[in-house]
């Protein structure tokens, strides 16, 4: 499912003293099946962007097309859009409220008006695909660890079978192990279910490792849009807006400064190590 | 004895059913020994549920030991009469700044603590002044905390603890909810307090990059201290850290990969600069 944003503007509290323009002339095209990372410091417009995409906020001006249809068209089925573009909020696990984990996951599909059998089927499917342990299905959600709660919350959105899944900092507050598990899970869902993933994150190391396309937001505008390899060489500009490149990017640039002919586009530990070895080897041969 | 000393500290969480029968016992701390000298900056690492926060709450007398003992500045935390003095000695900064800010103006929030312990008004203002300056937030003293960024809020929370003039501050995952900028601000503030005011700092975190400047690190898992040493000693054990599913700084990981590929890179590399130097010296030796 493709999403196109055409010159989208969004302001909070327009016409009052608290007027803030959260998005300025944002144009983006999101084709089917991409794994996209959105980064930007607090207040850069990332969350506004995600909420526009599933119709929770309405653009002040500009248009949004989902599968070629204008979502601001009077006849457009906004409710349907929210089922197709699933949004997992930051700290979604704070919103678990049913008596059991299973019931909590049922909530979304139940609201879609599906019959009980289909609802339960989807809940099973969703809980299974997030790797949630079966013995906990009918336990209350309150005793779970942070990582497990987060899985239930993600399953709740997955059960609505969205075509696009937007995750707003899905790993905030989790430890490294929990973080790797959740990101591994998201990456697996992307591969196996073929859905479009939009991952909002603060961690450059994480996005470098997982996403194929990176959108950098700054003050309500798109600052960079490209593969991590294309974006991270702009680390100086990223720093100016309160972001940073992954640690290895800096390492490669420093080595370059000392004359070692390494690829400054390396963004992960494995790439960097392999490239340093290659560069040292090459030097040896030249001699 | 150091300012914080734990000896065979045990804490059990006991869950009871409706009739009061014991349902389950979780051992959150299991024979923990700890010795922190006054003025040190130490770090405690471990993932969620490893017992770090339980330990922190003992240092602040929020929880009492099930077995073993803990002394804060020589005071046994088990003794009822020591509870208040212990809390004055060891301040605590929590994970979520929104949960610890209570006033509607920054300077009032910072003054809340000292006012509560009966500090005279003149002195409260002096302390507020000093604390805000120490975390670089003087400019915002008349602002509403609502409009501050996460890192700024957390610095206000730190100033609030500072104003109580504790000898020791426990930071319990102070950066978990912040963006990279906010994280840097908070860690810098902690180091400055340690360096300039001589406050003992205990930093609990799961971000490895934040602990490379600590003098000593304890690694916890399942309520036990499983590794301890200087950052260099700890980070030389990459495989072990990974096995305990802890994060390792990227520079350390690259160094480890290179070493395994046969390059002569020393163990325990912590920073980018050290790694660059090591790689360049490998290159030198090959040329020579």
DSSP class of residue A139?
S
Query: Which pair of structure tokens corresponds to residue A17?
Result: 């003293």
What's this model's pTM, rounded to 2 decimal places? Answer: 0.76
The model's pLDDT over A89-132, given as tens digits with 9 standing for 90+, comes to 887 877 888 999 999 999 999 998 999 999 999 999 999 888 88
In A, which residues are within 8 Å of B282 by CB distance? 280
Distance CA A211, CA A217 (A): 16
Domain boundaries, chain A: 246-287
Domain boundaries, chain B: 4-231, 249-288
Residue in B245, B275, B282 closest to A177 by CB: B245
CA distance A177 to chain B (A): 6
Query: Which residues, at least 6 apart from B215, have a Cβ–Cβ distance to it below 8 Å?
Result: B40, B41, B42, B230
In A, which residues are within 8 Å of B287 by CB distance? 283, 287
Query: Which pair of structure tokens corresponds to residue B46?
Result: 């471990």
Distance CA B175, CA B206 (A): 9
Do the Cβ atoms of A273 and B206 come within 8 Å? Answer: no
Do the Cβ atoms of B48 and A202 come within 8 Å? Answer: no
H/E run at residue B280: helix B272-287
Statement: residue B282 has pLDDT above 70: yes
pLDDT at A287: 57
Measured between CA atoms, the residue of chain B closest to residue A280 is: B283
Greatest Cα-to-Cα distance within chain A, rounded to the nearest angstrom: 74
Residue in B48, B179, B258 closest to A277 by CB: B258
Do the Cβ atoms of A243 and B182 come within 8 Å? Answer: no
Q: Tell me whether A162 touches chain B (CB under 8 Å).
A: no
The model's pLDDT over B179-238, given as tens digits with 9 standing for 90+, comes to 777 788 888 889 988 998 899 999 998 788 888 889 999 999 889 999 999 998 998 888
Closest CA to B259 of A206, A218, A276: A276
- Mean pLDDT of all residues in B138-161: 87
Do the Cβ atoms of A41 and B286 come within 8 Å? Answer: no
- Which B positions 267-286 lie with beta carbon below 8 A of chain A? 272-273, 275-276, 279-280, 282-283, 286
> For residue B213, how many C-alpha atoms fall within 13 Å in the half-sphere facing its CB?
12
The model's pLDDT over B42-56, given as tens digits with 9 standing for 90+, comes to 999 887 778 888 899
* Residue B59 and residue B70 in contact, taking contact as beta carbons nearer than 8 Å: yes
Residue in A172, A246, A254 closest to B276 by CB: A254
Count of beta carbons in the 10 Å neighbourhood of residue A42: 15
Residue-averaged pLDDT of chain A: 88
pLDDT at A224: 94
Q: What fold does the segment set B4-231 form as a domain?
A: Rossmann fold (3.40.50)
ipTM for the complex? Answer: 0.70
């Amino acid at each position: 499912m493709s999403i196109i944003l055409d010159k989208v503007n969004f302001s909070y509290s327009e016409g009052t003293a608290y007027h803030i323009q959260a998005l300025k002339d944002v144009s983006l095209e999101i084709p089917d099946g991409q794994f996209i990372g959105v980064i930007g410091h607090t207040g850069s417009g990332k969350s506004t962007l995600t909420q526009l995409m599933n119709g929770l906020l309405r653009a002040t001006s500009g248009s949004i097309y989902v599968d070629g249809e204008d979502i601001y068209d009077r006849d457009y089925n906004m409710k349907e859009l929210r089922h197709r573009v699933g949004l997992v909020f930051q700290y979604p696990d704070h919103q678990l409220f049913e008596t059991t984990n299973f019931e909590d996951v049922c909530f979304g599909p139940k609201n879609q008006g599906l019959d009980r059998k289909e609802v339960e089927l989807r809940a099973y499917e969703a809980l299974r695909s997030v790797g949630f342990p079966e013995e906990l299905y009918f336990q209350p959600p309150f005793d779970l660890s942070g990582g497990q709660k987060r899985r239930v919350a993600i399953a709740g959105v997955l059960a609505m079978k969205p075509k696009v899944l937007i995750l707003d900092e899905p790993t905030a507050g989790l430890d490294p192990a929990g973080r790797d598990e959740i990101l591994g899970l998201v990456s697996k869902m992307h591969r196996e279910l073929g859905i479009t993933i939009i991952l909002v994150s603060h961690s450059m190391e994480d996005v470098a490792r997982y996403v194929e396309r990176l959108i950098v937001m700054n003050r309500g505008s798109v600052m960079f849009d490209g593969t991590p390899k294309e974006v991270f060489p702009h680390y100086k500009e990223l720093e100016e807006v309160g972001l940073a490149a992954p640690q290895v990017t800096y390492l490669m640039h420093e080595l370059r400064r000392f004359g070692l002919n390494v690829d400054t586009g390396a963004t992960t530990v494995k790439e960097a190590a392999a490239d340093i070895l290659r560069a040292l080897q090459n030097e040896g041969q030249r001699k | 004895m150091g300012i914080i000393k734990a000896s065979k500290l045990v804490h059990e969480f006991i869950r009871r059913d409706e009739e009061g029968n014991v349902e389950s016992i979780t051992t959150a701390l299991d024979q923990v020994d700890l010795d922190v000298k006054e003025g040190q900056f130490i770090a405690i690492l471990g993932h969620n549920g490893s017992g770090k926060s339980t330990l922190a709450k003992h240092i602040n007398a929020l929880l009492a030991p099930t077995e073993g003992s803990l002394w804060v500045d020589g005071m046994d935390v088990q003794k009822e009469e020591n509870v208040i003095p212990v809390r004055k000695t060891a301040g605590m900064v929590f994970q979520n700044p929104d949960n610890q800010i209570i006033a509607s103006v920054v300077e009032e929030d910072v003054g809340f603590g000292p006012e509560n312990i009966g500090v005279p008004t003149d002195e409260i203002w002096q302390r507020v002044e000093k604390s805000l300056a120490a975390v670089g937030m003087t400019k915002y003293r008349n602002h509403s905390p609502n409009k501050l960024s996460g890192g700024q809020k957390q610095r206000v929370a730190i100033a609030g603890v500072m104003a109580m003039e504790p000898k020791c501050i426990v930071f319990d995952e102070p950066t978990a909810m912040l963006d990279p900028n906010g994280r840097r601000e908070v860690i810098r503030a902690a180091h400055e307090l340690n360096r300039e005011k001589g406050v003992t700092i205990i930093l609990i975190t799961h971000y490895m990059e934040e602990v490379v400047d600590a003098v000593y690190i304890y690694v916890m898992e399942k309520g036990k201290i499983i590794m301890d040493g200087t950052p260099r000693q700890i980070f030389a054990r990459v495989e072990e850290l990974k096995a305990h599913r802890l994060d390792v700084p990227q520079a350390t990981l690259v160094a480890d990969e290179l070493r395994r590929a046969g390059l002569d890179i020393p163990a325990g590399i912590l920073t980018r600069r050290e790694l660059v130097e090591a790689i360049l010296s490998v290159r030198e030796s090959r040329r020579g």
